[in-house]
């Protein structure tokens, strides 16, 4: 985006550009979102940055009114380097909260020196400083939106000690946690922590809701006209649930989270953003797909990828959905959850948890009405996640398992990993849409948004 476009978006406070860039004001030393309600600064006092981290590295502190920590993420500044993309995903999942840059580099198959050089080139900072700033911005959001004690905020943001948290907060954000605490913040209600997660409009909530509704597993998930929720089970065994309520006027979701014990929340919140696809740039995606879908009147505005809670769950759903209808797959997933999912307290009584790899790896799946080969594929996938968790997070490695082919891997990457560039050309629904509407095009021209092209074709069937 050119500087003139930044200027226009800032002057009009266009919400479609929220998170695409940040505005540093030299006269105050503060950086803001382009939708900030504060009086507009003069252009000669403005500097533009592609990310909040870049603004912070230049010495600006975050605005307390527009809260840059709440802006939708913009991935345009990642470039096309898949190594950087994988690194950012792993950092968002908490790879550097307990681990080292060397360990992260080893997982990526590169040296720590090369990883640092990539981050400096793409974001102007090191991987560790990037990760730390994400933790601080999340802590800032918790301090402003909740009444959690400062000690619990520090733990939820991934800090091991209050002293370290206070030092980093003061040094990087140029304020103390106590000074930031807003007196009118939300309170805990029935043990639920409520956060507001924003997106860039347009957001087609009705389409996402209507996609999820026929696939809903009672007890595991619940849905209303304006909300979606489901049970949670984190990697450390922590259990709970979330309920996300759509607020179209404010361009976001009010998300209530309840857990049975304190937990590091940043990876969870990142995961919920992916599940609801809150960081997609729908206006840009729709513009890109419009020429291809012109014979159909253009793309459905604001489509979002319907995520699942984990890559493992997406893989299981994909295996159960192989060569069967949505209704048949739904029935099988329900049988699996009811037979092997544990129960836990939920907002509407007892709820079900999705079965873990450890559970499915040690059962014969006798409760499922499936061919023996399909059952073995599920068991093999569960054992891969149990025995080689890092390998299992790369779905292409699943291809070594009997019964897993390209469609299963691609479906899991799209719904479980939030991959924006998956073309499910072999999917029965996609084939039917292409035949019924006599559509011919080269799907390669839809890259890097082929997942949204797939969604548009699914919406026709």
Q: What is d(CA 350, CA 341) in angstroms, rounded to the nearest whole number?
A: 12
Judge contact between 301 and 282, C-beta under 8 A.
Answer: yes
Tokens of 31: 């950086």
Do 357 and 382 contact (CB within 8 A), yes or no? yes
Burial class (CB in 10 A: 0-12, 13-18, 19+), 434: middle
Tell me if residue 427 is catalytic: yes
Annotated catalytic residue, options 18, 32, 277, 279 = 32
Other CB atoms closer than 10 Å to residue 379's CB: what's the count? 18
H/E segment holding residue 244: strand 239-247
How far apart are the C-alpha atoms of 218 and 214, rounded to whole Å? 11
CA nearest to 122, candidates 175, 97, 86, 158: 86
Closest CA to 111 of 70, 83, 142, 92: 83
Q: Which of 50, 277, 286, 427 is catalytic?
A: 427
- How far is it, in rounded angstroms, from Cα 15 to Cα 33? 10
Torsion of CA 401, 402, 408, 410, to 10 degrees: 50
Which residues are CB-contacts of 188 (< 8 A; sequence separation ≥ 6)? 146, 147, 148
Residues involved in catalysis: 32, 427
């Amino acid at each position: 985006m050119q500087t003139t476009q930044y200027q226009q978006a800032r002057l009009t406070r266009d919400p479609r550009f929220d998170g695409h860039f940040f505005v540093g004001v030299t006269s105050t030393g503060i950086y803001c979102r382009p939708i900030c309600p504060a009086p507009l600064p003069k252009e000669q006092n403005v500097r533009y940055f592609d990310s909040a981290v870049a603004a912070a590295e230049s010495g600006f502190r975050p605005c307390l009114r527009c809260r840059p920590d709440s802006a939708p993420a913009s991935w345009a500044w990642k470039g096309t380097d898949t190594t950087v993309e994988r690194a950012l995903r792993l950092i968002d999942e908490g790879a550097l909260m307990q681990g080292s840059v060397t360990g992260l580099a080893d997982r990526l198959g590169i040296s720590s020196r090369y990883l640092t050089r990539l981050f400096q080139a793409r974001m102007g900072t090191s991987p560790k400083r990037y990760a730390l700033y994400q933790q601080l911005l999340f802590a800032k959001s918790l301090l402003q939106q909740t009444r959690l004690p400062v000690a619990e905020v520090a733990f939820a943001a991934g800090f091991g000690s209050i002293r370290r948290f206070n030092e980093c907060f003061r040094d990087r954000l140029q304020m103390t946690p106590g000074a930031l605490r807003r007196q009118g913040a939300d309170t805990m209600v029935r043990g639920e922590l409520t956060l507001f997660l924003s997106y860039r409009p347009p957001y087609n909530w009705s389409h996402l809701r209507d996609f999820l509704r026929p696939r809903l597993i009672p007890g595991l998930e619940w849905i209303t006209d304006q909300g979606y929720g489901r049970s949670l089970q984190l990697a450390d065994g922590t259990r709970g649930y979330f309920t996300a309520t759509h607020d179209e006027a404010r361009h976001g979701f009010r998300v209530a989270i309840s857990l049975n014990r304190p937990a590091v929340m940043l990876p969870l919140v990142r995961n919920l953003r992916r599940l609801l696809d809150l960081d997609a740039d729908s206006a840009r995606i729709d513009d890109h797909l419009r020429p291809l879908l012109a014979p159909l009147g253009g793309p459905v505005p604001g489509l979002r990828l319907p995520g699942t809670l984990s890559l493992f769950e997406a893989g299981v759903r994909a295996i159960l959905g192989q060569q069967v209808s949505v209704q048949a797959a739904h029935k099988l997933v329900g049988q699996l959850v009811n037979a092997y999912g544990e129960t836990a307290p939920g907002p509407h009584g007892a709820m079900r948890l999705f079965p873990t790899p450890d559970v499915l790896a040690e059962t014969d799946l006798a409760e499922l009405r499936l061919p023996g080969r399909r059952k073995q594929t599920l068991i093999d996938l569960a054992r891969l996640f149990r025995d080689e968790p890092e390998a299992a997070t790369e779905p292409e490695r699943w291809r070594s398992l009997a019964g897993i082919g390209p469609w299963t891997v691609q479906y899991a990457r799209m719904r479980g990993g939030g991959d924006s560039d998956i073309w499910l050309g072999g999917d029965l629904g996609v084939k039917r849409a292409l035949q019924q509407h006599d559509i011919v095009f080269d799907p390669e021209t839809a890259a890097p948004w082929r997942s949204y092209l797939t969604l548009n074709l699914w919406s026709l069937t």
